[in-house]
Amino acid sequence: MSESAVSRPGAPDARPAKIMFVAGENSGDLHASRVIEELRKIYPNADIFGFGGDRMQRAGMRLLENLAQKLPIVGITQVIRHFPKIRALLKQAADLLRDEKPDLLVLVDYPGFNLRTARAARKAGVPVAYYISPQFWAWHRSRLEIIRNNVDKMLVILPFEADLYREEGIAVDYVGHPLQDDEAMLTPRTEVLSALEIPADAEVIGLMPGSRNGEVVRHLPVMLEAAEIIHRQRPGAWFVIPRATTIEGPLVRQHLESHPSLPVVIAESDHKSVRAAMDFVICKSGTSTLEFALAGVPMVIMYKASAITAMIARRVLKIPYLGLVNIIAGDSVAPELWQEKATGAALAKASLDILENPAALAAMKEKLAAVREKVGGPGASKRAAETLAAMLSQRRA
């Protein structure tokens, strides 16, 4: 579908399409940017604007507020801390919807903010598409009613989500997972290790504390404690920390100063190739667990939240797993350690139980391959853009 087919002279609406996006967090910025790139192929002259991050701006969006890199919100304590800023941004989004009257609002993940924005869009008479569903099946089933009343179509990335929405009578398209869209060539493992100055025959174990400074503070100390124990048992192991751009470099190095004899390096770039070069990873819960599953890298999953967030989570969690790879599999593919159970000693034991048991290691790799099959192949971003284009065409007809 070309833009001229929708906005040609003489058509009911000949002006360029106007599309507003709202995305937060690094992952939302990445996935939204790929959809914007695909939309630009269909609507090269569209006015695409909104809240997001650096990648969305590079893809061709007029960035009005950087939520992805400058306002990472996880847990109730951070919501409270940033509440005045959040409230001001919600008002700004509502004013934009009222004054700019976009043809379509595209919300990407970030449910605490975006579900409120969906309500503002409904009041302004702007259609809403929601890409990457809030995990209502894990936490807040109450959000279903908000979605039903304020979202015109859900674009979901996990196959079981489509069935859940259809059962609720909510319009939904399953587009596939955008992590499969990254077709960049991987740097060979030998080159990755050489660039990191790691011996070619080393066992490479990743430490993934998260993409926010607070996560690094909570997770990296226990990960490094686990690494020390693992290294005593497996002296040929080296450890790699891929540093997200949202993490301050001095913060990571500060923690490493307490472990001067541990062979650990920080990877600053080419993270996809670095992940693929790993033999094992201790990984904080989140999208990264699926990234490693798709790369076939065995893992142990952990997470530590603030005491208040953890208390609320224990009360409202509706499913037995929090690791995305386990949720998709519907099975305990990788061990999960949470809160007080996520100690250095426990992480080390869970890791060594797998690393030193060839049968357990092979079984996990087989389950990871099954997860990859469930997620499906590439093309999610293109399919999402085509769905949005169909909504726009209907709106502007």
Per residue, the 3-state secondary structure of the chain, as one string, reads CCHHHHHCCCCCCCCCCEEEEEECHHHHHHHHHHHHHHHHHHCCCCEEEEEECHHHHHHCCEEEEEHHHHCCCCCHHHHHHCHHHHHHHHHHHHHHHHHHCCCEEEEECCHHHHHHHHHHHHHHCCCEEEECCCCCCCCCCCHHHHHHHHCCEEEECCHHHHHHHHHCCCCEEECCCHHHHCCCCCCCHHHHHHHCCCCCCCEEEEEECCCCHHHHHHHHHHHHHHHHHHHHHCCCEEEEEECCCCCCHHHHHHHHCCCCCCCEEEECCCHHHHHHCCCEEEEECCHHHHHHHHHCCCEEEEECCCHHHHHHHHHHCCCCCCCHHHHHHCCCCCCEEEHHHCCHHHHHHHHHHHHCCHHHHHHHHHHHHHHHHHHCCCCHHHHHHHHHHHHHHHHHC
Residue 101 region, left (φ>0) first, then alpha (ψ -120 to 50), else beta? left
Amino acid 4: pLDDT: 40
Tell me, rounded to whole angstroms, the distance of Cα 390 from its chain centroid: 26
Q: Which CA distances in Å does 390 have to 39, 103, 172, 383?
A: 11, 12, 13, 11
Dig out the tokens for 3 from the structure: 């833009």
pLDDT at 6: 44
Number of separate domains in the chain = 2
376 pLDDT above the threshold of 90 = no
The reply to whether 59 and 99 lie within a common domain is: yes
Does residue 117 share a domain with residue 194?
no
Quick one: average pLDDT of 275-296?
A: 93
Query: Does residue 231 sit in the same domain as residue 301?
Result: yes
Same domain, 200 and 89: no
In this structure, are 100 and 193 located in the same domain?
Answer: no
One domain for residues 97 and 222: no
Is residue 237 over pLDDT 90?
Answer: yes
Mean per-residue pLDDT, 91-116: 95
Q: What is the pLDDT of residue 78?
A: 59
- Distance from CA of residue 276 to its chain's centroid? 18
pLDDT, tens digit (0-9, with 9 covering 90-100), for 80-97: 666 788 899 999 999 999
pLDDT given for residue 69 in this prediction: 73
Mean pLDDT lowest among 29-33, 61-65, 112-116, 135-139: 135-139
Q: Structural domain of residue 314, as residue ranges?
A: 189-375
**From 253-262, 341-350, 387-396, the region with the lowest mean pLDDT:** 387-396
CA distance 34 to 57: 11
> Do 293 and 329 have their domain in common?
yes
Radius of gyration from C-alpha coordinates of the chain: 22
Q: What is the rounded distance in angstroms from the CA atom of residue 111 to the CA atom of residue 318?
A: 17
Domain containing residue 29: CATH number: 3.40.50.2000
220 pLDDT higher than 90? yes
Contacts of 142 (CB under 8 A, 6+ apart): 136
Q: Per-residue confidence at 137, pLDDT binned at 50, 70, 90?
A: low
Q: What per-residue confidence (pLDDT) applies to 15?
A: 85
For residues 368 and 383, membership in a common domain is answered with no
Rounded to whole angstroms, how far apart are CA atoms 21 and 43? 15
pLDDT at 5: 40
Region 39-56: mean pLDDT is 96
Minimum mean pLDDT among 116-130, 169-183, 277-291, 380-394: which range? Answer: 169-183
141 and 228: one domain?
no
Residue 232 banded pLDDT, cuts 50, 70, 90: very high
Residues 139 and 14 in one domain: yes
Do 124 and 54 belong to one domain? yes
The whole-chain average pLDDT of the chain stands at 89
Same domain, 261 and 212: yes
Task: Give the pair of three-digit tokens for residue 191.
Answer: 């080159």
Report whether pLDDT(3) > 60.
no
